[in-house]
Amino acid sequence: MENTKLTVNQLANYFDNTNLHADATKEDMRQLCEDSAKYGFKMVAINPVQSSWCRELLGKDSPVDVGAAIGFPLGQNSIETKAFETTDSINNGANEIDYVINITELKAKNYAYIEREMQTIVDICRKNNVMSKVIFENCYLTDDEKTKMCEIALKVRPDFIKTSTGFGTGGATVADVKLMKSVVGDNVKVKAAGGISDLDTCLAMIAAGAERIGTSHAVALTEAYKKQLEQK
């Protein structure tokens, strides 16, 4: 779909509205959920401990998903720890899971570990009818490593592969979205996240193949797009 053909509501539904700050208050979570329900964002992206609170705020039948960030933001937890965190978040109301890979094991070319980790978390999500997203944290990876992660994802088939946490040394780039999309095609979706704060960048990510946008600027981006359409 061409960006110019997106309605405001369609753009809003790309957004995983994000607040992963350590000092986020309950009122911040309330605002996040209220904004997400008002604008029709796809998901609230939060730390696992906020899962039950956000589910309560949104309501069990809300079209806005609750997305818990697992092994966040470094990914330096055992598979067993990430598996428990995933299950615990789901039990507390999360119906999407974004987990960070173990970059140390990827750098060591321990691809069997990476695949086992991905399979473990994706299996838990499938069992619970929950969406799974794999965060690569591309700022630390070579293009060969990004490609290898995509190839593993093609075997395991999570719902999404994701560029970044937003807490690394760099965020999403159009080049990375294109690279990831070129490997997985339509078999796995791509989520762009990290540093997406202006409308042109957001639309460029979508044009490159991103089917989700993770951002803490979802309200501002939606309002900017609405204004742009009104001026045409």
Per-residue pLDDT tens over the stretch 97-143: 999 999 999 999 999 999 999 999 999 999 999 999 999 999 999 99
Q: How much is the average pLDDT of 54-63?
A: 96
Which amino acid, residue 185? G
* Domain hosting residue 198, numbered range: 3-231
Phi and psi angles of residue 45, each rounded to the nearest 5 degrees, phi first = -100, 115
| Percentage of residues in the chain having pLDDT higher than 70 | 98
Asked if the model's pLDDT at residue 214 lies above 70, the reply is: yes
Question: Would the pLDDT of 1 be above 70?
Answer: no
Active site residues: 98, 162, 191
The dihedral sign for the CA sequence 184, 83, 54, 27: negative
Give pLDDT, residue 136. Answer: 98
pLDDT band per the 50, 70, 90 thresholds, residue 5 = confident
CATH of the domain at 182: 3.20.20.70
| Alpha-carbon gap, residue 103 to 85, rounded angstroms | 18
Q: What is the pTM of this model?
A: 0.96
Domain count, the chain: 1
Report residue 148's pLDDT band, with 50, 70 and 90 as the boundaries.
very high
Mean of the pLDDT values across residues 175-194? Answer: 98
Question: 4 pLDDT band (50/70/90 cuts)?
Answer: low
Task: Let me know: does 199 contact 229? Beta carbons within 8 Å.
Answer: no
